[in-house]
Structure 1
Amino acid sequence: MVYVSSGLSLYFEDGHDDLDDFGFDDYGSECDGIRITAFLDAGQDNLTPLGRLEKYAFSENVFNRQIVARGLLDVLREFSDNENDFISVMETVARMSEDGEPTVRAELMEQVPNIAMFLHENRPNFPEAFSRYLVPIVVRYLTDPNNQVRKTSQAALLVLLEQGLMSKADMEGKVCPVLLELTEPSSDDDYKIEAVAIMCKLVTMLTKDTVEHLLLLRFCELCSDVRLFQVRKVCAANFGEVCSIVGQEATEKLLMTKFFDLCSDSLWGIRKACAECFMVVSNCTSPEVRRSKLSPLFINLISDQSRWVRQAAFQSLGRFISTFANPSITGFQTEDADESVSESNGSTGSPTSDELSAMSELSLTDAQISDSPSSSPVLVDDSEHSSEVRGQFYS
């Protein structure tokens, strides 16, 4: 039977009698308009509201525990004005996070971003309470044995980071160590693939120093993961963002060799991802590296045996060439991987002789042009790793 409350579906097997425990007996069979925190109402027993919260949060009935987890935000609204009551509720949340039922843990984690936002807006001691009670739950669930709980935790973590609710100390001291542990060579494959994806998204939300100090060397190792092509695929897809964060010196010293390896990877999906981020990587290198190393590498991608790699390279060609332009001379300013070149106001001019020489190396022959992919490509078999086609594009 399915009951709907605030747009959320609740699944249980014990029938309508379970609702009586919450004081829901006055509602119709479809339970329209149920208030999730009805179990706190007086008149059901001799317990205090906090006592009823304790009773249902650790009930033997899974449905009761799901209801409490789903209603935690409303519970906090009820008790946030009193410091002792607030601490009692947060300690109950911490204990509930250890529930043996995966659906209860997933329900609780879905509420964490909303709870964090509420605390941020209403509690003067938000950073301390958030770090003490909620961050450990999010971090622990990143290694939860249940896939749905892990996915929910990953989504919650990204929301917390995007909203700026997690402190630098928590990111460096609690989140990054777990991600580094999950991306160890000996880590479980599923955990490792998930952790790499989270790490790459995390990079864009951390400072340059933090990325260089904690994550850069591990990212370089993951680019060379010979066992899991999914890991290399995620690294290739996010290579440009990492280069943009760490800057030219680290890019040329540590990342360029990894980029060369990925551009020549045996799987065409990884080479395609490199072609797509080529402009961003180029923008993070010196003109000499761009001319002497990246130009020949890009020509290889344009001539790749895979039609899909060639198509991605041709689509990136103009943007890559734009990175050779000197804004102070040409009046052109490169923006980002999703933007073409925009013309600046004022200055005009011509490329220097060195820039023209480098760009000429990328000129296309008639044969290359005639072989370039059409705007509506036809699916073809590139005769390489047919099994890869089925699996390599998920991240």
Structure 2
Amino acid sequence: MDSPYNCILLAGLSLYFEDGHDDLDDFGFDDYGSECDGIRITAFLDAGQDNLTPLGRLEKYAFSENVFNRQIVARGLLDVLREFSDNENDFISVMETVARMSEDGEPTVRAELMEQVPNIAMFLHESRPNFPAAFSRYLVPIVVRYLTDPNNQVRKTSQAALLVLLEQGLISKADMETKVCPVLLDLTEPSSDDDYKIEAVSMMCKVVTMLSKDTVEHLLLPRFCDLCSDARLFQVRKVCAANFGEFCSIVGQEATEKLLMPKFFDLCSDSLWGIRKACAECFMMVSNSTSPEVRRAKLSPLFISLISDQSRWVRQAAFQSLGRFISTFANPCSTGLHFRGDGALLEVPRCTLDSLKCPQICSWKNVTIGFVL
């Protein structure tokens, strides 16, 4: 049986690990602290401790009865892979060990393992020619499974890891469509647990900015529209309202006007002022995704209702968005300026045509906006 004082035994090996904290910081993960921070994590692989091979020692400590041993292995997986990456059979053995470790019953071990996944993925991406296959086979299923983990910390760690992997472009479109999105859709079902559902809606709204228009439109948009009308959980409607502009920017004008506009009208008249305030804050992004006719005929009266809202917080948010909303009526051909969907101001070439002949005639002069102070 493993000694409860393995930390002290490892410290006596006088071998120190290369500090990997900078790598973790780069990916936005917090440093892991313990009384054994000075030890080289992979010291348990060294000869002289027993008659086992390095892979045998990895197996021994990865599935030890001592939780701390398992935590150490999980924390040192990147260094372990570096040790065994030159031999294909050894590499596969390590990855299979990682897959088995991901089923550990101790939440701290699962969370520790998940924190290492972005670094492991980057290492595999840089050093393994078969990275896509290995990553898809061994690591993506772990990330996806942990999105539904019963432990809150494990779920949060998995969500953070997924965002990092998407930002780095390490998850393929196929894996997103066949593995990640189906889980998010399952978690946002009407019958889903409330806590899981709220987390999944927030996660869906975060990943949508990193997915293609087709993926969003065909897989996530129908569910998002349903969630905007969730009558039971106001938290769900609030998350949808806060991220409404991102969905509009991604799916484009046709889907915005046909599918999203009715939901936006409902959210703008929601009984909770916090939801109406969130709508006022994203109004420019929604407006940017519609035609001039829709802006003038539908969005202008809707904005007036927000700027006249009974809640001073909603009115304040609307007034703060007023300039940005008006800017969406401006003609870039005349002004030489254009507000991008995310609110960034861009300089564009001025139109050489007379403004009266320009196909993008400025329509803001035809808009009257009332103020209620």
TM-score band by shorter chain is 0.7 to 0.9
CA distance in 1, matches of 2:239, 2:210: 17
- Contact 2:273–2:311 (CA under 8 A) maintained in structure 1: yes
Matched-pair contact (CA < 8 Å) for 1:94–1:137: yes
Q: Give the direction of change, closer, same or farther, for the CA distance of 1:278–1:183 in structure 2 (3 Å limit).
A: same
Contact between 1:23 and 1:44, CA under 8 Å: does it hold in 2? no
Task: Give CA deviations for 1:210-258 in whole Å, capped at 9, x if unaligned.
Answer: 1111000000000000111111111011100100000000000000000
Work out whether 1:342 is the aligned partner of 2:346. yes
Q: In 2, are the aligned partners of 1:303 and 1:310 still within 8 Å (CA)?
A: yes
Secondary structure at 1:355 match in 2: coil
- Structure 2: tracts of 5 or more residues without a match: 1-8, 364-373
**1:208–1:289 Cα change, 3 Å:** same
From 249, 273, 276, the counterpart of 1:268: 273
> 1:325 Cα deviation (Å)?
1.1
Please state how far the C-alpha of 1:326 moved relative to its aligned partner: 1.6
Give the whole-Å Cα distance in 1 for the aligned partners of 2:247 and 2:153: 28
> What is the Cα-based RMSD across aligned positions, in Å?
8.1
Q: Report the CA distance between 1:328 and its aligned residue.
A: 1.8
Cα distance change of structure 1 residues 236 and 43 upon mapping to structure 2, 3 Å threshold: same
Structure 1, residues 100-123: CA drift from partner, whole Å, max 9, x if none?
A: 111110010000000000000000
Unaligned runs of 5+ in 1: 332-336, 344-351, 357-376, 382-395
Check conservation: 1:24, 1:38, Cα contact below 8 A.
no
How big is the shift at 1:10? 18
CA separation of 1:58 and 1:314: change in aligned 2, threshold 3 A = same
Q: 1:141 to 1:354 in 2, by over 3 A?
A: farther
Q: Aligned pair in 2 of structure 1 residues 103, 56: CA closer, same or farther (>3 Å)?
A: same
Structure-2 change in CA distance of 1:164 and 1:8 (3 Å): farther
The CA distance in 1 between the partners of 2:111 and 2:165, in whole Å, is 16
> Is the 1:219–1:235 contact (alpha carbons within 8 Å) kept by the matching residues of 2?
yes
- CA deviation vs aligned residue, 1:16-58 (integer Å, no higher than 9, x gap): 9999999999999954621011100100000000000000100
Query: CA offsets per residue over residues 43-101 of structure 1, 9 Å max, x none?
Result: 00000000000001001111111110011000000000000000000000000000011
Contact kept, 8 Å, 1:322 with 1:341, in 2: the verdict is no
Distance 1:104 1:154 in 2: 16
What is the distance in 2 between the residues matched to 1:20 and 1:159?
12
Partner of 1:353, secondary structure, is: coil
Separation in structure 1 between the aligned mates of residue 29 and residue 307 of structure 2, nearest angstrom: 66
Contact 1:182 1:191 in 2 (8 A): yes
Equivalent pair of 2:331/2:361 in contact (CA under 8 Å): no
Q: 1:57 to 1:207 in 2, by over 3 A?
A: same
Cα distance 1:30–1:379, how it changes in 2: closer, same or farther (>3 A)? farther
| TM-score for both structures, normalised by structure 2 | 0.82
> Whole-Å Cα distance in 2 between the matches of residues 23 and 42 of structure 1?
35
C-alpha separation in 2, matches of 1:195 and 1:238: 13
TM-score normalized with structure 1 length: 0.78
Closer, same or farther: CA 5–155 of 1 in aligned 2, 3 Å? farther
Aligned CA distance change for structure 1 residues 21 and 223 (closer, same or farther; 3 Å): closer
Aligned counterparts of 2:261 and 2:64: Cα–Cα separation in 1: 56
